A and B are shown apart, each in its own frame.
Chain A
Amino acid sequence: MSKKQIKLIVNGKEEIIEVNPYESLLKVLREYLGLTGAKRGCDYGGCGVCTVVVNGKAVYSCMYPAIKAEGKEITTVEGLYKNGKLHPVQKAFIDANTVQCGYSIPGAIMSAYALLLNNPNPSDEDIKEAFSGNLCRCSAGYYWPEAIKLAIKYMKQRES
């Protein structure tokens, strides 16, 4: 199988890597770039633990070809933590007690991040929709909508 050299922009940093022509973005992030925030769960679009943001949109990296992502801005949960500080969405997820086992959290945080990126004042329905592709088996996912509201508050505080 012939490998292909591609250039990815991950969390603002340019990465040049060799990939198989049809390889998932998830595999490339985890195994080639060592970014293990995005998790591998079902691998078929049923759980959302692999969620990352590509050009401002939440996608399942388990079924997103790495080559398709070339030239696009990729953000993973690792990219939210900047200058020693948690992103307001991360802080809100902690403060709203959303975590039990934690496996679904990086994916859920990326869905939340994409939501607020596109829609800073989401309705309850928008919030439900944004999490429609993320599962949590500990039932701590119940608190995710609350985390969004908290994140909005933190973001406003940060601006003022």
Chain B
Amino acid sequence: MHYELKDYIKPKTLEEALKLLHDYKGAAKIIAGGTVIHELSERNLLEGVEYFVDIENLGLNYVRIEKDGLHIGATTTFNQIVNNSLFTKPSYYALYLAAKGVSSYQVRNVATIGGSVCSSISFLDVPNALVALNAKAKLVSLNGERIENVENLFLGMLNPNISEDEILTEIILPLEETKTASYYMKLTERAFDYAIVSVGIKVKLNENGYVENIRTVFGNVQPTPYIENKVYEIAKGKYINEDLIKKIMEEIPSVEPIDSINASAWYKKKVLKVLFRDALKETLEMIS
């Protein structure tokens, strides 16, 4: 770790942090857990950055249930998610698995939920799980605030749809739902590797056990989380049995995957079908 900064600033309030980002526009970069920042510095990807604004002390570390959903502060760490029993509930289980699947305990002690979204890296797990769960994000700047669906925050690799003077302050998940479960599964070469591909899924059945909604997200298939609408199109209103699963497997993915360093598009296409099947079965098991 060696990068020439003019200063590393630790503001105490959100207002102070927003002002710094505004005043140093472009030259200031947010640092939360610093785990991706470290990687960016090692790879010389911090050009033009002269100041780090550390957002650890802004009071953004919380998990609370409110009327409109489950609010998770941006600097909540992966281990805080894993150790909070709220996230082992079926409605949120995909997020629990994504956070727990980050291989090193030490990384999970510092890596934050906000940092994972704002990195905009296709093979990270937590952002894909959040998209599967229909998460929203709150972004604040001196000009005001906006609430966005998490899937709208990615423009491409390392290119989040977040302006330099904005802070993502929290993630908002829908309230717990009945007859609902979610799951996250990734394929890696070895346990501590990043995902070759991943599947995030959330299923809601109606009282009679027919599909009311399914949301499926594929990770590392496109440069940004890919929402696979085909699954819902085929399964809508139906009862999920082996035949239906086979039918879905024939139709997915509905997009040509990108090649990546650890796997070809051809391989990803084949393996995604199986990963999807297994994730769907796990999800359904949690509902029944």
Contacts and interface: CB of A to CB of B under 8 A. Distances in A.
Interface of A: 1-2, 4, 20-24, 26-27, 43-46, 48, 51, 57-60, 62-65, 67-68, 70, 111, 129-133
A132 B1 contact: no
Contacts of A46: 192
B3 interface: yes
A63 B104 contact: no
A2 B7 contact: yes
Interface residues of B, number: 28
B7 A63 contact: no
A83 B192 CA distance: 39
Contacts of B251: none
A128 B97 CA distance: 16
B39 A132 contact: no
A131 B106 CA distance: 9
B8 A21 contact: yes
Contact of B34 (A4, A57, A64, A133): A64
B36 to A, nearest CB: 10
Contacts of B79: 57
Contacts of B192: 46, 132
Q: Is the interface of A mostly helix, strand, loop or mixed?
A: mixed
Given A48-B106, A58-B109, A133-B105, A67 B8 contact: yes
8 contacts: A22-B52, A24-B1, A44-B42, A45-B106, A48-B104, A60-B110, A65-B8, A65-B34
B6 interface: yes
Contacts of A70: 10
A1 B105 CA distance: 33
A130 B105 contact: yes
A129 B108 CA distance: 11
B147 to A, nearest CB: 29
Interface string B54-98: 101000000000000000000000010000000000000000000
A109 B170 CA distance: 35
Contacts of B56: 68
Contacts of B10: 67-68, 70
Given A27-B1, A60-B104, A129-B105, A4 B8 contact: yes
A133 B56 CA distance: 23
Contact of A58 (B8, B39, B106): B106
B31 interface: yes
A133 B1 contact: no
B4 interface: yes
Nearest to A70: B10
